[in-house]
Amino acid sequence: MHTSLSCAACGLAHPIGRLQNLCSACARPLVAGYDLGSLKARFTPEVVQRRTLRSMWRFSEVLPVDAPDEAVSLGEGQTPLLRCPSRGPFARFSNLYVKDESFNPTASFKARGMSAAITRAARLGVTSVALPSAGNAAGAATYYAARAGLECYLFMPQDTPPANIIESVVGGARVFLVNGLISDCGKLVKRGCAEFGWFDLSTLKEPFRLEGKKTMGYELAFDLADAHRTTSLRLPDVILYPAGGGTGLIGMCKAFDEMQQLGWIGSQRPRMVLVQAEGCAPIVRAYEAGAQHAELFPNAATVAAGLRVPAAVGDFMMLRAVRESGGTALAISDHDLLEGVRELARWQGIYACPEGGAVWKAAQRLLATGWLKPDEEIVLFNTGSGLKYNHLFEVDDLPVLDHNDPQCLNRVLKT
Ligand SMILES: Cc1ncc(COP(=O)(O)O)c(C=O)c1O
């Protein structure tokens, strides 16, 4: 259980036993802290390795609960780290892995954040939650709210992937489509929370989605130890991550700092590569301009719905995380990121989301420029399943065989 909640920008401490959104002084994100010095003696990698619990809650000491059975859980986390066979366009990399977050409940990494946030909100007496979403967060919020018996109000851009809208409606959420971007949805949520008393679960405006997502960083260190058949935790040389609101990237860096304070790892860090889409790349622009904060990205448009975030409240945290790690930031076109999806599918057997496709294309580009070396240990995050984006691919002109025609298989040879 956390022992502090303080502002990421001004450091102001906030009470931990009360519902909180942004800092009461400067309206920046609040971040949970733990008494890691006291945990050190009893919370060790060996203790975690012996646990049989198959979810991210095996790290419960650094999550917002007193015990794992308090968690609102659907089995999130413990996703596979898949080593990429060196073939086709992957042949130039010798140590490439994909952490495949599509294995989560509701098929995206958003499950981790929602499990933690809804656990904490329900514990503090919340009965209805609301959030703006690009898609996957809506699906995850719906199902964790259902699991906890909470009402869930969702505000999504009108052109959100149909799969996300349908899963949310089926799961009983109150879904509202908005003729604008996720930032416009966020403004409606803010007003609705003030008027109707819902609890605002917006990313980084709620402190515990970050805590759930940081478990990707903890897990990776164990996954790589397993991959190297060692019990010593390891981090890769480079992590590539698709960033919208940035919670996953910031969360992993937080996990690495906590693991160092626990004495689990040293001071070495992976270079963090932040990947966005060319049609919405506010953080990449700010990174290139050497700025601390990002400007609103005008006319944001990309098929990678999770990356269509024109303004992020945690912009300064993402920029800090990338720079402090010696990483970089780059944007990929929609054409290229969809090609990335096809390549992951055909050469690796992974049906990735477009955000995952972007990350793979970013790795290829960084290898071509020499920023990445072919033998470096590199982890790509595939943050969700391609199944939620089936609408992006056309399969209209498939041959239909007449099974009554004895010659029908001849057509197989002709196509
Ligand atoms: C599949 C996918 N990848 C990446 C992101 C961006 O995540 P974050 O807000 O942690 O930057 C999203 C957010 O909606 C998403 O759905």
Q: Which of 307, 319, 353 to mutate to test the pocket of ligand 1 (most atoms within 8 A of CB)?
A: 307
Distance from the alpha carbon of residue 243 to the mean position of ligand 1, in angstroms: 6
In which residue are the tokens 């990313």 written? 203
pTM for the full model?
0.95
Residue 360: pLDDT band (50, 70, 90) is: very high
Where does ligand 1 bind, in terms of residues with CB under 6 Å? Answer: 108, 134-137, 203, 242-248, 306, 353, 355, 383-384
Distance from the alpha carbon of residue 385 to the mean position of ligand 1, in angstroms: 12
Distance from the alpha carbon of residue 402 to the mean position of ligand 1, in angstroms: 44
**What would the pLDDT profile of 253-262 be if each residue is shown by its tens digit?**
999 999 999 9
Q: Which atom of ligand 1 is nearest to the CA of 203?
A: 9
Q: Where are the domains of the chain?
A: 81-107+207-389
Q: Judge whether 70 and 119 are in contact, CB under 8 Å.
A: yes
pLDDT at 356 over 90: yes
Q: Are strands 96-100 and 378-382 parallel, antiparallel or unpaired?
A: parallel
Distance from the alpha carbon of residue 41 to the mean position of ligand 1, in angstroms: 35
**Rounded to an integer, what is the distance from CA 395 to the centroid of its chain?**
29
Query: Which class would CATH give 81-107+207-389?
Result: alpha beta
Distance from the alpha carbon of residue 384 to the mean position of ligand 1, in angstroms: 8
Distance CA 154, CA 405 (A): 51
Q: Which atom of ligand 1 is nearest to the CA of 245?
A: 9
**What would the pLDDT profile of 74-125 be if each residue is shown by its tens digit?**
999 999 999 999 999 999 999 999 999 999 999 999 999 999 999 999 999 9
CA angle 42, 43, 49 (to 5 degrees): 120
Q: What is the average pLDDT score of the chain?
A: 95
Which residue has the CA at smallest separation from atom 5 of ligand 1? Answer: 306
Distance from the alpha carbon of residue 249 to the mean position of ligand 1, in angstroms: 10
pLDDT at 139 over 80: yes
